Chain A
Amino acid sequence: MIPPITPVTAVAAASPAAAAPGAAAASSGTSGTSGASFSNVLGSALDSLNATTSNASTLAVEGATGQANVADVTVASTEAQLAVQMATTTRDDAVTAFNSIMSMAAG
């Protein structure tokens, strides 16, 4: 129902030159050997968001046609709402960080 979102991890893997410097700096600078870069975290979060919203959409139809029970539909829609909220929060914070960097003095 919802076209799949291309995971950011795949994008990062396809164009390592673009994503690698920042990602490498972030992982080596913050967590050392754990290696969970921001793009990996964001990519898995987007994959999860896609799966959650697809599941909620399927269950909404099944609930409307009487094939799923109320509890399952409620759980799925609640999780989808939270996942979308988490994605938008992460997006807002990323944009804020980007704007902070862009407004730095160039000299």
Chain B
Amino acid sequence: MSMFPSIDIAGTGLDVDQTWIDTISSNVANADDAATPGSAIYQDQEVVATASPSAPGNNNGSGVQVQSVNVSTAPGVLVSDPGNPLANNAGLVEYPNVDIGHQMTSLVQAQAGYEANANVLGNSDAAYKAILAIKA
């Protein structure tokens, strides 16, 4: 931990929110992928965030980290579209099981989280500058 722990901690929050936004971006970008049923299809990704382990004797915490990016195992959505070149014999095409509504609400949450962490960073900066501005 550096001399300015609150800035480091806000940075870990920014990192996690950035990863969250990245996965949402990937989910939305791949929401309209099409595949023949039975072949590989894009799977919804979701960030799992946990608290970073604290250093021994430090109860203040040391931020947040991306525990893992869970890849959904839910089957894709089968849509009847016999004209599609990817359709199987039954005329079905598989689309990823990505819920755009859920992605958009998650994006709002991630954006708010990112802004909050950026504000913490800025206010910590101002606080440290205040203590450094004190002259004897």
Contact = CB atoms under 8 A, between A and B. Distances in A.
Interface in B52-100: none
B4 to A, nearest CB: 5
Interface residues of B, number: 17
Interface in A36-81: 45, 48, 52, 69-72, 74-75, 78-79
Q: Say whether chain B's binding surface is mostly helix, strand, loop, or mixed.
A: helix
Contacts of B15: 69, 71-72
Interface residues of A, number: 19
B129 A82 contact: yes
Contact of B132 (A45, A48, A78, A86): A86
A83 B7 CA distance: 12
B18 interface: yes
Interface of B: 2-4, 7-8, 10-11, 14-15, 18, 121, 125, 128-129, 132, 135-136
Interface of A: 45, 48, 52, 69-72, 74-75, 78-79, 82-83, 85-86, 89, 92-93, 96
